[in-house]
């Protein structure tokens, strides 16, 4: 199905069957997200649900646990209800320190902060979902399959416009390209965007870029 007649994209359809506990968890997280975000940030709320569904479908396609992908998608932008100043304050409270002025990296903090405080509220999900949430803004050189699914789903969920960089990643997902290639493409388009728009590039992002680029080069050579 991927692109319909109007060119609107959705992740490859997948049948998911959840156990009772899993279904209950997803319902509870969605209800909590709604109470937390729907009124304050309606578009962010829709985006979160859309990331969750995209991540779930991609998870099925790539043999990752769909419930964990969905749960991480629902919660990944939890701290986006806070203002930029509040996000920085929360990062400081929680000891999130990227080694540079937090004002410069404010847009990157919300995943790391959510991953530090949400496990207290939700002790059930395994640690790997908090890691995927933690890594959804910056990425990492050693991403798990779940990390990659959540990272990519965040960038290509259907509510995002089908601009060239996003289109390319969507096509890769539709073609079932290796997840490492899909993640790499999504990641470097993110880096390119920062450079093209002449924004501050966090040095940690450059380190990840270099590590991945060298690794990929070594495989090719």
154 is a site residue for Fe ion (CB under 5 A): yes
Taking contact as CB under 5 A, which single stretch among the options 4-12, 16-24, 66-74, 152-160 is the one that binds Fe ion? 152-160
Taking contact as CB under 5 A, which single stretch among the options 85-93, 120-128, 139-147, 148-156 is the one that binds Fe ion? 148-156
> Minimum Å distance from CB 214 to Fe ion?
27
79 is a site residue for Fe ion (CB under 5 A): no
Judge whether 111 and 132 are in contact, CB under 8 Å. no
DSSP string for 161-190: ---HHHHHHHHHHHTT--HHHHHHHHHHHH
Pick between residue 56 and residue 77 the one whose CB is nearest to Fe ion.
Answer: 77
Pick between residue 147 and residue 154 the one whose CB is nearest to Fe ion.
Answer: 154
> Minimum Å distance from CB 108 to Fe ion?
9
> Minimum Å distance from CB 66 to Fe ion?
18
Separation of alpha carbons 167 and 180, rounded Å? 17
Separation of alpha carbons 74 and 55, rounded Å? 10
Give the number of residues written for the chain: 221
3-state secondary structure of 153: helix
Give me 208's structure tokens.
């990840």
Separation of alpha carbons 3 and 11, rounded Å? 9
Taking contact as CB under 5 A, which single stretch among the options 72-80, 118-126, 145-153, 179-187 is the one that binds Fe ion? 72-80
Judge whether 33 and 48 are in contact, CB under 8 Å. yes
77 is a site residue for Fe ion (CB under 5 A): yes
> Minimum Å distance from CB 107 to Fe ion?
8
> Minimum Å distance from CB 212 to Fe ion?
20
Which residues of the chain form contacts with Fe ion (CB under 5 A)?
77, 154
């Amino acid at each position: 199905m991927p692109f319909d007649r109007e060119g609107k994209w959705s992740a490859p359809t997948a049948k998911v069957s959840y156990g009772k506990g899993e279904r209950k968890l997803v319902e509870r997280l969605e209800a909590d997200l709604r109470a937390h975000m729907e009124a304050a940030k309606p578009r962010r709320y829709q985006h979160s649900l859309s990331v969750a569904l995209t991540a779930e479908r991609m998870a099925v396609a790539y043999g990752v646990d769909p419930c964990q992908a969905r749960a991480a998608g629902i919660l990944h932008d939890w701290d986006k209800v806070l203002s930029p100043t509040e996000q920085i304050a929360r990062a400081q409270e929680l000891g999130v320190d990227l080694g540079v002025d937090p004002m410069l990296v404010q847009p990157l903090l919300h995943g790391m902060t959510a991953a530090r405080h949400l496990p207290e509220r939700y002790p059930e999900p395994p640690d790997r979902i908090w890691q995927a949430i933690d890594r959804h803004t910056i990425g990492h050189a050693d991403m798990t399959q779940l990390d990659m699914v959540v990272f990519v789903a965040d960038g290509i969920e259907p509510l995002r416009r089908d601009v060239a960089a996003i289109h390319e990643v969507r096509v890769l997902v539709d073609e079932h390209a290796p997840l490492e290639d899909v993640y790499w493409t999504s990641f470097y388009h993110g880096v390119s965007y920062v450079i093209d728009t002449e924004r501050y590039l966090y040095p940690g992002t450059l380190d990840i870029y270099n590590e991945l680029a060298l690794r990929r080069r070594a495989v090719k050579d």
